[in-house]
Amino acid sequence: MKDQPVRLGPREQQIVELLLQGCDNAEIARQLNMARRTVKAHFNRLFLRFGITGGIKRVKLATLLYRRQECQQMNDTVHVSQMNVSNESSSLSLKA
């Protein structure tokens, strides 16, 4: 991948955000009201701009995105657990 930051246009940002949320090409196309081949064309341009040219790099990107999603879910679970502990502790304080 290239070292220089890549600036995304508004539509590209929408597509990437949906990808990071776990949407596939068909779902992205539905949500953004565009053809699946248009989504695929956006991804191909993004891959080129990020210097992702081979299938192996695409697999690595998919793996990275999957891991990010897993980490986000784990962080959300920890955050909810902490909120529950905080709520339980404050309700105990109120009763005492």
8-51 CATH, one of 1.10.1040.10, 3.40.309.10, 1.10.8.870, 1.10.10.10? 1.10.10.10
Give per-residue pLDDT as tens, 40-54: 999 888 888 877 777
Distance of alpha carbon 39 from alpha carbon 49, whole angstroms: 15
Which of left, alpha, beta for 51 (phi over 0: left; psi -120 to 50: alpha)?
A: left
**Whether pTM exceeds 0.75:** no
Band of the pLDDT at 81, cuts 50, 70, 90?
Answer: low
Cβ atoms 65, 21 nearer than 8 A: no
